[in-house]
Amino acid sequence: MKIEVPKEKALRFINSGNLILVTSAYKDKTDIVTVAWHSPLCRKPPLTGISIAKSHLTCEFIGKSGEFIINIPGEPLLKETVLCGSVSGREREKFSEAGLTPVKAKRLVRTPVIGECAGHIECYVRDTKEYGDHILFSGEVIYAEAEEGIFREYWDTDGIKLIYHLGGSRFTTSGKTVDMRL
Ligand SMILES: Cc1cc2nc3c(=O)[nH]c(=O)nc-3n(C[C@H](O)[C@H](O)[C@H](O)COP(=O)(O)O)c2cc1C
């Protein structure tokens, strides 16, 4: 037997990409936002999409600067990840509030990476599209790096537990790797 699920809750069926922390900057200010709604979009060139509410400071910063960075937190950063998704950079400076370290990115000049995260994808905004109260930014990957020993072609699930948002205050983390070839 299957039960009807409210339409808005149906998004939780597929709300399953690992949580990312997106950094952005404008003038001398930086911001961090937690994002569950994101997806790879294209392999050649490598493009990725992030869906950001128009009301977020991040939306303003990315719109003005034309760049953003995706940072990959592991389970030890769960509390910081929830914090960055619960307060706005309009009121609080999240790097210091969360005790995270801004580190100069390899290619982008203004936007920093989060030192404590296991991987970073530096992107230039390629396109924007409005969907109701969100803006989908597609970003072209210009540089990516990951912690040595944890990413070799794939994430090593013994080395990092990626975080997934189930909805509300519930999270899960990545489990064991299974290699399936037909
Ligand atoms: C687990 C989690 C996932 C979230 N995913 C998104 C998302 O995909 N898109 C979005 O716009 N906001 C998302 N949010 C909400 C923002 O992270 C949050 O409103 C944040 O405080 C906005 O910060 P800013 O105003 O500094 O940009 C999420 C929050 C949490 C806790």
Q: How far is the CA of 42 from the centre of ligand 1 (A)?
A: 24
Confidence tier at 132 by pLDDT (50, 70, 90): very high
Residue 167, in any domain of the structure: yes
| Closest to 78 measured CA to CA, from 2, 173, 13 | 173
CATH code, 156? 2.30.110.10
Is any ligand 1 atom within 6 A of the Cβ of residue 163?
Answer: no
Q: How many domains is the chain partitioned into structurally?
A: 1
| Closest to 68 measured CA to CA, from 7, 126, 116 | 126
Residue 182, in any domain of the structure: no
pTM exceeding 0.85: yes
Q: How far is the CA of 181 from the centre of ligand 1 (A)?
A: 37
Residue 152, in any domain of the structure: yes
130: Cα separation from own chain's centroid: 19
Residue 78, in any domain of the structure: yes
Ligand 1, from 15, 30, 54, 56: best to mutate by most atoms within 8 Å of Cβ? 56
Residue 178, in any domain of the structure: no
Is any ligand 1 atom within 6 A of the Cβ of residue 56?
Answer: yes
Ligand 1, from 11, 34, 51, 170: best to mutate by most atoms within 8 Å of Cβ? 34
pLDDT digits (tens, 9 = 90+) for 73-106: 999 999 999 999 999 999 999 999 999 999 999 9
Residue 147's domain spans which residues? Answer: 7-173
Pair of tokens at residue 114: 């989060």
Residue 120, in any domain of the structure: yes
**Given a cut of 90, is residue 15 above it in pLDDT?**
no
Composition of the chain by helix, strand, coil, percent to 5:
15, 45, 40
Is any ligand 1 atom within 6 A of the Cβ of residue 50?
Answer: no
Residue 81, SS3?
helix
Residue 1, in any domain of the structure: no
Residue 25, in any domain of the structure: yes
